[in-house]
Chain A
Amino acid sequence: MKKTVDVSIPLGPVHPCWKEPVRLKCETAGERVLRTEVELGYMKKGIERIMRGRPWQEVMFLAERVCGICSVIHNMVFIEAMEEISDIAVPPRAAYLRVVANELDRIASHILANFSYCYTIEHETLAMYLLNTRETVLDNLERLTGSRINTAYMIPGGVRFDLLPEDAAAMLADLSKVEEEMQRHTRIFETGPLIALRSKGIGVMNHEEAIRSHTVGPTARASGVVCDLRLRHPTYRELGFTQVTRTEGDNFARVMVRFQEVFQSIDLIRKCIETLPDGPVRGGGFCKAGETSYAGEAPRGELTYSIKTDDYGRVVDIAIRTPSIMNIEACVHAMIPDATSIADVTATFISSDPCVACNER
Chain B
Amino acid sequence: MRNILQKIKNAVRSRSIHVSYVDVGSCNGCDIEVLACLAPRYDIEQYGIYVHNNPREADVLLVIGSVTPQWVDKLRDIWEKIPEPKVAVAIGNCPISGCVYNRRGTLTTPPVENYIPIAASVPGCPPRPTEILSAILSVAPLIFKDYEENQK
Contact = CB atoms under 8 A, between A and B. Distances in A.
Interface of A: 13-21, 41-47, 49-50, 52, 61-62, 64-69, 71, 112, 115, 128, 131-132, 134-135, 138, 148-150, 355, 357-358
Contact of B29 (A43, A65, A128): A65
A135 B32 CA distance: 11
Q: Chain A's interface: helix, strand, loop or mixed, by majority? A: loop
B111 to A, nearest CB: 15
Nearest to B54: A16
User: Most A CB atoms within 10 A — which of B52, B54, B107?
Assistant: B107
A38 to B, nearest CB: 14
Given A16-B54, A61-B100, A71 B29 contact: yes
A131 B35 contact: yes
Interface in B22-53: 22-33, 35-36, 38-41, 52-53
Given A45-B106, A46-B105, A50-B104, A132 B25 contact: no
Q: Chain B's interface: helix, strand, loop or mixed, by majority? A: loop
Given A16-B53, A43-B23, A52 B39 contact: no
Q: Determine the interface band of chain B, counting residues with CB < 8 A from chain A.
A: 35 or more
Contacts, number: 125
A114 to B, nearest CB: 13
Contacts of B108: 45-46
B95 interface: no
B23 A66 contact: no
B27 A132 contact: no
Contacts of A138: 36
B147 interface: no
B122 to A, nearest CB: 14
Contact of A19 (B23, B41, B106, B125): B23
Contacts of B20: 14
Nearest to B69: A44
Contacts of B36: 131, 134-135, 138
A20 B33 CA distance: 13
A14 B53 contact: yes
A159 B23 CA distance: 32
User: Most A CB atoms within 10 A — which of B28, B30, B38, B65?
Assistant: B28
